[in-house]
Structure 1
Amino acid sequence: MTKRSFEQFFKNPRLWREDLVAVGGDFSVDRLLYAYTHGIFPWSEDPIRWYSLDPRAIFDINRVHFSKTVLRKVRQKKFRITFNEAFAIVMQACAYREKDNTWITPGFIDGYLELHKQGWAHSVEVWNSENILVGGVYGVAIGKFFAGESMFSFESDAGKIALYHLFARLRESNFVLFDTQQLNHVTWQLGAYEIPKLSYLDRLERAVVDIVPWVIPPSHD
């Protein structure tokens, strides 16, 4: 589809007052890239519902609040940290719930896996001493903008340790905006906060002036 077609499909978040801006479509790379660069994200699969929330939750990349316990575990280096080694497995782990359903359904996994293959979606993996994946996070990076999608922990604090390393690399790459969409207890504790949608869209516009994939800098550990 062309940019014109996407403009007709999605309501303009700057003008539309409702959170829901479209229903339908697909998880194609072009559609996802258009959505993310215009402050829109999908939140269900059947049908696909697209949202631009007001207010919007974000992190200041330089002011994330990790607990002393998390920082101590990072310093101890008991875990092996990798980037983009197990993207599909990280998504599947984020989707796993014992008692309820999650929005990360098979269509999401297929669509974002293709986004990953083309260099736009990334994962951070945390492996224990037995080389078992115990935590991770994934999201979408465009220009100097990162959209954090989900994280998981099969061992205490493992997801937050993944986030710690993600933020460190984002700072090295001079990212300016981290979108976490909606506040929850965990992101609030880490320092996320809400801003008006129009303020978010202004920041996003500056962050995606150059629509290029993220080349992750090597670790200095």
Structure 2
Amino acid sequence: MYFLSKELYFPPVSEASYEGILAVGGDLSPERLLLAYRNGIFPWFEEDEPILWWSPPHRMVVYPKDYKIAKSLRNILNRKIFEVTYNQNFTEVITYCQTIKRKGQKGTWITDSMYEAYVKLHHLGIVKSIEVWHENKLVGGLYGVDLGKVFCGESMFSLVPNASKVAFVSLIEILKQEDYLLLDCQVHNNHLEKLGAFEISRENYLKILKSSL
């Protein structure tokens, strides 16, 4: 495991541990975060831990151009229960992602330092959000890092059933229209799998990422 100094540098991702931990320390400056994402690396740690940088051996992804919306979810979209906006209320979205209670989780990985770092990236036009509304109330959404042709999803939330699903597929529709190559969902979880995401190898992910940049 590599211990980062103030130097703006990451070791090759091939040096990551079996679980995917590549490095410890450094900072969450916009410059370091951009360098990380452009090389297939992301931060993930809890409040009482040092900054941990990950490049796992497998990545959970969606190819926007190949994505097929499930019939049940298409029916929800067609009923127009929700209104969807793009990058209009980022601060509210990340605040909900940070504070919402999640089943099986004691706390949040979106620490105050992470919150501040991604707000800075949002102001630079790099981090963007999807908002889902019902009766003029924000009820769901997600945010992530936009690398141009690869979108790295970071977190999502839902206050009512299906709101995060609507945010997810609405993002994919936007990415499809803009000819994005990949939606990066980072690591496996059952919710993402049910939404149609799947794992590819780190090597394949990096090939797509490098071609997009």
Count of aligned positions: 201
What does residue 164 of structure 2 align with? 159
The aligned counterpart of 1:215 is: none
Structure 1 length normalisation: TM-score?
A: 0.85
Give 5+ residue unaligned stretches, structure 2: 1-5
Instruction: Provide the rounded CA distance (Å) in 1 between the counterparts of 2:37 and 2:106.
Output: 27
TM-score by length of 2: 0.88
RMSD (Å), alpha carbons? 1.7
Per the alignment, residue 36 of structure 2 pairs with 35
Q: Tell me the CA shift for residue 162 of structure 1.
A: 1.0
Match of 2:3 in 1: none
SS in 2 for 1:78: coil
Counterparts of 1:139 and 1:79, CA distance in 2: 21
1:183 partnered with 2:184: no
Q: Deviations over 1:11-58 (max 9, x none)?
A: 211x31421111112211111110000000000154110000001221
Percent identical pairs in the alignment equals: 38
Letter of the structure 2 residue corresponding to residue 78 of structure 1 = I
CA distance in 1, matches of 2:138, 2:120: 22
Cα distance between partner residues in 2 of 1:191 and 1:89: 26
Matches within 5 A, 1:62-81: 62-81=65-84
Structure 2 CA distance for aligned equivalents of residues 50 and 42 of structure 1: 4
Which residue does the alignment assign to 2:15? Answer: 16
CA distance in 1: counterparts of 2:7 and 2:202, whole angstroms: 23
Do 2:172 and 2:183's aligned partners in 1 also have CA atoms closer than 8 Å? no
Q: Distance in 1 between matches of 2:69 and 2:158?
A: 15
Q: Quote the residue 1:117 is aligned against.
A: 123
Structure 2 contact 60–187 (Cα < 8 Å) conserved:
yes
Q: CA deviation at 1:148?
A: 0.8
How far 1:65 moved relative to its partner?
A: 4.6
- Partner Cα separation in structure 2 for residue 57 and residue 27 of structure 1: 23
| CA positional deviation for 1:67 | 3.1
Correspondence for 1:203? 208
- Superposition deviation, residue 122 in structure 1: 0.5
